[in-house]
Amino acid sequence: MSERPERAVLAGGCFWGMQDLIRKLPGIIATRVGYTGGDAPNPTYRSHGTHAEGIDIIFDPGTISYRQILELFFQIHDPTTKNRQGNDIGISYRSAIYYVDEEQKRIAEETIADVDASGLWPGKVVTEVEPVGDFWQAEPEHQDYLERYPNGYTCHYPRSGWVLPRRTAAE
């Protein structure tokens, strides 16, 4: 590892599929799924109030950048559907980026602008950008779910040929 590990916290629908795909990126050190961005203390799968299903990511910034993680995040879920991913409907399944510092906030906003300008999705991005708060780890049966059940439910997948261009200076 070339630099000190950094943290990213994302929500993009059911946490099983997010974890399964993000963990495979080079430079991802650890992932855990849980509940974040809401109002319930000690949330559980059955009772998590306004929390989103999220993923807490520890990564090596010398191997993978925060921007690269966000590019995969925007490829594997539909950031234009409010409170929904596939068959999963409700506030738990919203798209959100929980930044740990102002640099992550800047990168998140820039990446969202690039996604909107790209036309890769049919509508405008509705992903929330909020400061990180408490992250409550989900129950053990939800951790590494698709590794234990390879044919389990997911609504996340890489889109073939999906490459996010950066806006030009004139845009």
Q: Which are the catalytic amino acids?
A: 14
Q: 3-class SS at 60?
A: coil
| Sheet strand arrangement including 28-36 | 128-131, 95-99, 6-12, 52-59, 28-36, 135-137
- Identify whether the C-beta of residue 115 lies closer than 8 Å to the C-beta of residue 74: yes
Cα–Cα distance between 125 and 79 in angstroms, integer?
5
> What contacts 101, CB < 8 A, 6 or more positions away?
none
Structure tokens at 64: 């993978």
